Amino acid sequence: MLDERAGRGSVKLHMTTKILVADELSAEGLELLNDAGDVTVKTGMDEDALRTTLADYEALIVRSATKVTARSLELADRLTLIGRAGIGVDNIDVEAATARGIVVMNTPEAGAVTTGEHAIALLVSMARRIAAADASVRAGKWEKSKFTGVELAGKQAGVLGLGRIGRVVAERCRGLGMTVSAYDPFVSQANAPDGVRMMELDELLGSSDFVSVHVPLADETRGLLSRERIQAMKPGARLVHAARGGIVDEAAVCEALESGHLAGAALDVFEQEPLPADSPLRSAPNLVLTPHLGASTVEAKRNVSLDMARQTVLALKRGVVLNGINVPRVAPADAAQLGPWLDLARNLAGLLTQLFEGRVQSVRLSVQGGIPDSAHRPLRVAMLGGALQHAVEGTVTPVNAERIGEELGLRVHSESSSMKRDFMSLLRVEAVIDEVRHFASGTVLGQRHGRLVELDGYVIDAIPEGPMLVTFHSDEPGVVGKLGSQLGNDGINITRMQIGTASNGGGEGGEVSAPALGILNLDREPTADQLDAIRQISSITRAALVR
């Protein structure tokens, strides 16, 4: 089960984490998921069935068939993660998931080649009228002159959207001898693929012989190819649409095909799926239709399953969310390195807010050394989650940590520095608690093991994992022996122990002043009475439990 004390933001795995797979996933993907918890496959659920089922699960994996609505999430109090095995997340109410602190992630890489290749297949089929010619031959006809096509070489292909799929299409079009132009408001000419000329949308539509749509469905792209823009396309142009239904005005496509303004079109996605029996698209001339086959290859189905399984295991075991939709994005190249640092940022902040009581007024993250810039925001959010998870009621996750911090008026800062001190890389978390500033610094050894190396001026080498007993005490013989005896009498085992000394004669925060600091990792938490008995040891100035 997920550790509720750690907060769902830590996305930490325990033995009985329950994962629901609501759509088909490959056998290889399911096998990987078994390493992350107890997996149940239950497909074909409607909203009511999903709503009642989700109450028992921490993670949900879907493809495109299952609709995850706000109502279906109403009872999902344990759910921390929704994974979409595929690119589009229009079947998931991301806003509702975000409001409940649930991470949503997808797999944008796995189906890019397959979907791009399907767009090229549609383009070629449309140019050479292959589908209509096939139907004619099957009907016993031989209408060779009726199906005269056009060459692709030398024609201009206009690509709308230069994301992963758009770049595949652009590359393939260049291989076919076409000149390629593209429209993407987020891509400059300097960042465009070789041989691709960036244009404004109207210029591209007015000059391209073939237009292929590869933008995501969002508020700003819904209805992007409206009736007016379709009419503004070059007379005799051809349209390929393999992105998401709702981007292209389907009625306007029918009109343009009937009038001859468009010489052809090929659609793989539709505003309503399955396509209604009475849809005018079914009878429109010079139109190729396929039933949303963009990612339907053996390779793509396997790849999206494997990618989602790997991402789910990484999120649940190490707290790293790849391809997050509603959380700070972590680049796949940084994932292996970043996981322990996210844990460290969260644990350092949680250590401070548990160790020093009072209202948290501000937190600051300092990143030193070789940690990539792309990791700074995820680290800041992890720090914020650690600071808040023991300071507020309710669940704090990477999805809602920033919002909760803003609502509380918490000041959050971050900075980076090339200064490395004694370590290749270092995190320093500062927290102002009831007007007193405290700090904890840590590093990661071997890209696996987080270490606390300094706490309010005390030099230490400890593993910041709970439960921990933290003591401020006299630097004299017998203190450790008394602590060990007391814990032993209570049946509590010390799994690790480190003693640190104050580099400046006392804690920087000013609240604690003692020559030595002890950090003891325990096999279980002491009770309140057992903790009080430890505090009665004469040499101990202060003792606190950190979970």
Catalytic residues: 244, 273, 292
Residue (of 209, 218, 213) closest to 250 by Cα position: 213
Provide CB contacts within 8 A for 338, sequence distance 6+: 320, 330, 375, 378, 379
| E strands present in 94-195 | 103-106, 156-160, 179-183
Specify the residue for token string 């000041």.
411
- 7 and 395 in contact (C-beta within 8 Å)? yes
Q: What type of residue sits at position 513?
A: S
**CA–CA separation, 295 and 304 (whole Å):** 9
- Coil, helix or strand at residue 20: strand
- Coil, helix or strand at residue 86: coil
Helices and strands, number each (H, E), in the chain: 15, 22
- In 241-331, which ranges are continuous DSSP H helix? 250-259, 298-318
Other Cβ atoms within 10 Å of 435 Cβ, number: 9
**CA–CA separation, 292 and 87 (whole Å):** 13
Supply the DSSP symbol for 66: S
For residue 415, which phi and psi values (nearest 5 degrees)? Answer: -155, 160
**CA–CA separation, 132 and 154 (whole Å):** 24
Q: What does the block give as tokens for 439?
A: 């700090």
Residue (of 300, 309, 225, 229) closest to 267 by Cα position: 225
Pairing of strands 81-84, 59-62: parallel
**CA–CA separation, 430 and 453 (whole Å):** 14
Q: What does the block give as tokens for 517?
A: 């600091």
**CA–CA separation, 418 and 430 (whole Å):** 18
For residue 351, which phi and psi values (nearest 5 degrees)? Answer: -60, -45
DSSP β-bridge partners for residue 369: 425
Provide CB contacts within 8 A for 363, sequence distance 6+: 349, 383, 384, 387, 410, 411, 412, 413, 429, 430, 431, 432
